[in-house]
Amino acid sequence: MRNIETPKGSSLPEAKRGIPRLIAAAGYSFAGLKAVFRSEEAFRLEVYTSVVLIPLGLWLGEGGVEKLLLAGSLVLLMIIEMFNTAVEVVIDRIGPEFHAMSKVAKDVGSACVFLGIGLVLATWLLILGF
């Protein structure tokens, strides 16, 4: 990443480096997970489902690749859901009024989640032989 000079008189704090930066980044990540868990019912449902299915996938998968695909597809779905939430939050931050482009952005985010769910189902059905 490039160093971007701040304008003179800027009140931005000094950037953290090294271990303090990693600790701060972990804190921001946990804050994001907490925020999406509290605000999104779909994400909570995905977490609860994953708490059951990830251990099951690790048990049922034959070999490392199958275990990774079964568990990883669920983690990927949660990642997609978080990106969808981020898009929705940014759109809502812009303003509450309807705009066609905002609708498209939210619909595309929803479609991403839909495809992620399809990926989870296809992965589990194909690996488990249904």
Per-residue model confidence as pLDDT tens digits over 23-58: 999 999 999 999 999 999 999 999 999 999 999 999
Q: Which of 5, 14, 62, 81 is catalytic?
A: 81
Quickly list H helices, the chain.
Answer: 19-39, 41-60, 64-94, 100-128
- For the chain, what is the domain count? 1
Residue 67 lies in a domain: yes
Residue 62 lies in a domain: yes
106-127 average pLDDT score: 98
- Given a cut of 50, whether residue 15 has pLDDT beyond it is yes
Residue 118 lies in a domain: yes
Residue 7 lies in a domain: no
* 81 is annotated as an active-site residue: yes
Per-residue model confidence as pLDDT tens digits over 68-91: 999 999 999 999 999 999 999 999
Q: Which domain holds residue 62?
A: 19-128
Residue 9 lies in a domain: no
**Residue 43 near residue 78, CB atoms below 8 Å:** yes
Residue 2 lies in a domain: no
Residue 112 lies in a domain: yes
CATH number of the domain encompassing residue 42: 1.10.287.3610
SS3 for 67-104, per residue? Answer: HHHHHHHHHHHHHHHHHHHHHHHHHHHHCCCCCHHHHH
Residue 61 lies in a domain: yes
- Going by C-alpha positions, the residue among 19, 86, 76 that lies closest to residue 53 is 76
